């Protein structure tokens, strides 16, 4: 029946007009029989979808034929699609042909390109991080370099996705011009296959504890995690730390396979529930595990989402691991790409997932929005209690809450904003070129350097607008529209000054975590990402806490009710 709907809603307005003329004589009796056999839900869906499609296609054709100026039907349709999806959740998105290629790259972890993380910042194409040993690194490109020309294409006025110009067939040579420290340079990049590892780092720590960084859930995640686990056990690992911090998730099936490494066959891992029966599924472990006894700690933070929450939530519910860190992101929604016409796709939310105890850890309810159009978050008073396999109490309502919370590792709003606005990145670029590479690759960051960072914020006028400032600005705009007296503006200026002073104080208040972010950025400049993982493994508060728990069997067992 759903195939029938798809056919019907794709018909032209002209056909619907024909239906309209004959519906009384032929269509209604036929539909009456259909309704009798298929139910009310199908009837309602059919008429509403068909009606709205007819209205929209008629309007779209009429608009483009009659509007006073020339229109671009493609751009109008693109905006119409995006506006439609904006009313739902942020994970339901439309992919054009180029986006489909990117999505496949993210899924496989392989593509042909220059081997660098690139971003657009105020219209500039910036190298954020060159990957060790790949084309960008071999050509000498560094973090902070701005690519200003690719081949014959000057990027100043280039509105498309310029990063696509740096992809192509293997061994293709691409000439670029880039800017570094206000000087222009030329180089040639030879495109090559790039493999983005799901497990970029693993090591055996001094006390026979294996440490595995799982950075993403691509199609090789389970295979790479298993390989790291087995190698560490061969090296003598007697306990294990699986680091899921900052892991945004990925393939659900890979998450199930990773849980399967540590729990027996035929164990429930996750359930997806949907209004569609075919998307309501139960996922259990299907293979023999690698080790069901090795003490295990899982690290999460506020950027651990989706598949990361499936792994941490399942292992917590099954009392198989101690979860350490801070409450995870809270993305309990499952998406699936569906092919559309002309090589496009719709990535659509099809279900919610539930951990073995029955928890849905989705934090935001996109069906309920506040007056500003933002999804409503569950309050703590709305959280429901569930029980793990051994009777421990756990809660739903907004991410996985760790068994051991490390509050000092939580990132403040000001630090997140300084990272997002590239204030820390830009400062690290300047610092890198002013300071020689340290012997051990770890930069010394002094009080004077931190003061230099604060000065850079003033110099570059890198500010962020707090929620309070946004509210005040809107209030001022309303006051001006209502032509209220100058006293309002004076009060506004005074409050903005107060908030500006508060922001400066918050930079000092969160000095330690801001320094941590700056040093992390600098280490990647001197030692690549591998160097950062090595540095973090010896100093991270979450890793130190995990080591302490794993080294104390009595405390570990007490946390898990063993």
Residues marked as catalytic: 306, 317, 331
Give the integer Cα–Cα distance in Å for 70 and 74.
12
Question: What does the alpha-carbon distance between residue 437 and residue 526 come to, in Å, rounded to a whole number?
Answer: 7
Give 309's Cβ-side CA count (13 Å radius). 32
Indicate the pairing of strand 239-243 with strand 209-213.
parallel
Q: Can you list the alpha helix ranges (DSSP code H) found in 178-251?
A: 221-234
Give the H or E element holding residue 272.
Answer: strand 268-273
Q: How far is 337 from 93, CA to CA, in rounded Å?
A: 9
CA-to-CA distance for 281 and 270, rounded, in angstroms?
9
Measured CA to CA in angstroms, residue 170 lies from 28, 166, 194 at distances of 59, 11, 10
Residue 217 is classified by DSSP as B
**Strand arrangement, sheet containing 322-325:** 201-205, 209-213, 239-243, 296-300, 322-325, 404-405
- Report how far apart, in Å, the C-alpha atoms of 364 and of each of 83, 205, 310 are: 20, 38, 17
CA atoms of 477 and 491, how far apart (whole Å): 14
CA–CA distance, 135 with 143 (Å, rounded to integer):
14
Strands 375-377 and 364-369: antiparallel
Taking CA 220 as the corner, what is the angle to CA 216 and CA 225, rounded to the nearest 5 degrees?
Answer: 75
The upper half-sphere exposure of residue 559, i.e. CA atoms within 13 Å in the direction of its Cβ, equals: 21
Cβ neighbours of residue 284 under 8 Å, at least 6 residues apart?
256, 266, 267, 268, 269
Q: Judge contact between 228 and 533, C-beta under 8 A.
A: no
User: Around Cβ 124, how many Cβ atoms within 10 Å?
Assistant: 14
- Neighbouring-strand partners of residue 129: 117
Q: Are 327 and 402 in contact (CB under 8 A)?
A: yes
């Amino acid at each position: 029946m759903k195939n029938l709907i798809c056919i019907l809603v794709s018909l032209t307005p002209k056909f619907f007009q024909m239906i309209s003329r004959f519906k009384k004589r032929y269509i209604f009796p036929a539909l009456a029989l259909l309704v009798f056999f298929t139910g009310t839900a199908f009837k309602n869906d059919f008429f509403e979808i068909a009606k709205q499609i007819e209205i929209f296609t008629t309007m779209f054709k009429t608009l483009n034929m009659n509007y006073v100026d020339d229109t671009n039907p493609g751009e109008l349709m693109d905006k119409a699609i995006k506006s439609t999806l904006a009313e739902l959740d942020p994970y339901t998105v439309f992919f054009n042909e180029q986006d489909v290629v990117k999505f496949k790259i993210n899924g496989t972890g392989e593509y042909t390109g220059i081997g660098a993380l690139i971003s657009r910042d105020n219209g500039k194409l910036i190298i954020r991080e060159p990957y060790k040993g790949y084309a960008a690194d071999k050509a000498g490109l560094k973090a902070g370099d701005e690519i200003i020309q690719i081949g014959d294409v000057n990027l100043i006025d280039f509105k498309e996705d310029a990063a696509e110009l740096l992809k192509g067939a293997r061994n293709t040579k691409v000439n670029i011009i880039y800017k570094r420290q206000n000087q222009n340079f030329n180089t040639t990049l030879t495109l090559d296959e790039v493999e983005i590892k799901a497990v970029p780092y693993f090591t055996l720590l001094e006390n026979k504890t294996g440490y595995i960084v799982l950075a993403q859930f691509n199609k090789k995640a389970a295979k790479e995690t298993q390989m790291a686990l087995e190698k560490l056990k061969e090296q003598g690992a007697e306990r294990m730390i699986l680091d899921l911090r900052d892991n945004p998730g990925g393939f659900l099936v890979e998450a199930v396979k990773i849980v399967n490494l540590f729990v027996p066959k035929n164990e429930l891992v996750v359930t997806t529930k949907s209004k569609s029966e075919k998307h309501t599924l139960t996922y259990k472990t299907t293979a023999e595990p690698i080790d069901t006894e090795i003490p295990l700690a899982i690290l999460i933070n506020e950027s651990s989402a989706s598949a990361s929450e499936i792994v941490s939530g399942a292992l917590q519910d099954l009392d198989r691991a101690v979860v350490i860190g801070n409450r995870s992101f809270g993305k309990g929604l499952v998406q699936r790409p569906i092919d559309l016409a002309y090589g496009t796709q719709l990535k659509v939310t099809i279900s919610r997932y539930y951990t073995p105890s029955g928890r849905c850890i989705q934090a935001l309810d996109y069906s309920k929005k506040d007056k500003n159009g933002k999804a409503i978050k569950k309050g703590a008073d709305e959280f429901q209690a569930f029980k793990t396999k051994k009777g421990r109490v756990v809660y739903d309502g907004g991410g996985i809450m760790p068994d051991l919370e490390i509050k000092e590792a939580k990132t403040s709003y000001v630090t997140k904003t300084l990272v997002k606005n590239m204030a820390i990145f830009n400062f690290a670029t300047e610092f890198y070129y002013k300071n020689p590479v340290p012997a051990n690759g770890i930069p010394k960051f002094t009080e004077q350097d931190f003061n230099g960072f604060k000065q850079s914020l003033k110099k570059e006028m890198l500010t962020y607008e707090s929620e309070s400032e946004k509210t005040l600005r809107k209030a001022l705009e309303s006051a001006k529209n209502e032509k209220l007296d100058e006293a309002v503006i004076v009060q506004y200026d005074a409050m903005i000054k107060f908030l500006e002073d508060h922001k400066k104080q918050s930079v000092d208040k969160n000095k330690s975590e801001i320094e941590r972010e700056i040093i992390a950025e600098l280490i990647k400049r001197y030692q690549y990402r591998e160097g950062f993982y090595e540095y973090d493994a010896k100093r991270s508060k979450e890793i130190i806490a995990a080591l302490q728990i794993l080294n104390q069997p009595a405390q570990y067992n007490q946390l898990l009710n063993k």
